[in-house]
Amino acid sequence: MPAKEAHLYQKLTNKNVLCRNCAHYCKIVPETRGLCGVRENIKGKLYTLNYNLVAALHVDPIEKKPFFHFLPGTQTLSVALAGCNFKCDNCQNWDISQSPSLDKKIEGEKILPQKIVKTALEKNLPSISYTYTEPTIFSEYALETMKLAKENNIKNCWVSNGYLSPELLNSISPYLDAINIDLKSFSDDFYLKNCGARLQPVLNTLKAMKQKGVWVEITTLVIPGLNDTRAVFENIAKFIKNNLGTGIPWHLSQFSGAPSWKLKNIIETPVETLKLAYQIGKKHCLKYVYTGNVPGLPTEDTFCPNCGQLAVDRTPYGIKRYDKKGKCEKCGADLKLILE
């Protein structure tokens, strides 16, 4: 029995439906599912099959998402439900993101949104992160939880591929405080071949989130041979500068093939490639460029863009702050740190 009728869809003729939840806009005929594997047309109505079925629930450092400028040094309650609207060959959580599409299994523990918020309150956590898979695909559950979280002064954070429909974006943005969006490349061809999607909707989401006042951070997983060229880094840096502003954090993460879904034989990203991408970001005047998954690099720390003073020193998911309430200790410049 389906758990919940989907909140964003249109009924068509012959009991077909048009899902309006994500940018795929799947047309779904009766008794079949959309690309995400968790939305099914049952007798002319669209149902979300993963509602209330929590596949993962953990407490994480907020830096693990990664958010470096949003509530730095705090812990967040991370929640995920099965399914995804992308088919990324490099997915590290493919066992829960792809299982509904691969074998139609939708597994998880039945946990109501009220319980998620209660858990965050009991653990004195300032935020809930909708993460690990793709929150767009469990948007009904996420939105109910977000509304309750807001009522209890808990912040809401999404870690997303950015493939939302404008309708969903408008629904969640009043309750969303921060989002980290994967900008996986700047090539439509890459998105089509590696993700089964398109680039432009992701760019549209980034711009819309910025316009709506949601705090935005961007992550690019640098995969050798697929998206690691100078041209890709240049294009992403230019897009961020011209459309989002130089104060948007850009995370450049090292790829490791071992835990991924299909790209197990690709070497891990050379540190020199990450350094090149970092230098290109700085060349385009981006104030906060970071490298990730390589402990010990100073490019994981936050420095004042005005005077160069160390403001936040990061070890793996731990930090030491040297700022004064979000401002540089030395020159007083605003470091774009959201502290509450």
The CATH architecture to which 53-300 belongs is Alpha-Beta Barrel (3.20)
Q: What is the per-residue pLDDT across 109-163, written as a single tens digit (0 to 9) for each? A: 999 999 999 999 999 999 999 999 999 999 999 999 999 999 999 999 999 999 9
With bands split at pLDDT 50, 70 and 90, how would you rate the model's confidence at 318? confident
205 — phi, psi (to 5°)?
Answer: -65, -45
Q: What is the DSSP string of 191-240?
A: IIIIISS-SHHHHHHHHHHHHTT-EEEEEEEE-TTTS-SHHHHHHHHHHI
Average pLDDT, the chain: 96
For residue 69, the model assigns a pLDDT of 98
One-letter identity of residue 238: K
Is the pLDDT at 307 greater than 90? The verdict is: yes
- Minimum mean pLDDT among 75-84, 218-227, 250-259, 289-298: which range? 250-259
pLDDT over 80 (residue 209): yes
Q: How far apart are CA 40 and CA 16, in angstroms?
A: 11
Residue 85 CB contacts under 8 Å (≥ 6 apart), including other chains: 22, 24, 34, 35, 36, 134, 136, 137, 161, 163, 197
The mean per-residue pLDDT over the stretch 45-62 comes to: 97
Q: What is the percentage of the chain residues whose pLDDT exceeds 90?
A: 91
Q: What is the pLDDT of residue 106?
A: 93
pLDDT at 225 over 80: yes
The position carrying tokens 């559950």 is: 141
DSSP 270: P
Binned at pLDDT 50, 70 and 90, residue 2 comes out as low
Residue 103 has pLDDT above 90, yes or no: no
At 295 the pLDDT is 87
For range 279-291, the mean pLDDT = 98
User: Binning pLDDT at 50, 70 and 90, where does residue 1 land?
Assistant: very low
Owner of token pair 């999404």 = 158
Residue 61: per-residue pLDDT:
97
Q: Is residue 7 within 8 Å of residue 167, measured between CB atoms? A: no
Under a CB-based contact definition with an 8 Å cutoff, are residues 224 and 255 in contact?
yes
Residue spans per domain, the chain: 4-48, 53-300
Can you give the pLDDT at residue 170?
Answer: 98
Please tell me the chain's helix, strand, coil percentages from 3-state DSSP, rounded to the nearest 5: 30, 25, 45
| DSSP H/E element including 5 | strand 4-5
Going from the C-alpha of 39 to that of each of 12, 17, 182, 270, 280, the distances in angstroms are: 16, 11, 23, 39, 41
pTM of the model: 0.97
Whether the predicted pLDDT of 297 surpasses 80? yes
pLDDT tens digits for 68-78? 999 999 999 99
pLDDT of residue 102: 86
Across the beta sheet with 318-321, the strand order is: 302-303, 310-315, 318-321
pLDDT of residue 253 exceeding 60, the answer is yes
Predicted local distance difference test score (pLDDT) of residue 235 = 98
Structure token digits, residue 25? 């806009």
Q: How far apart are CA 130 and CA 138, in angstroms?
A: 9
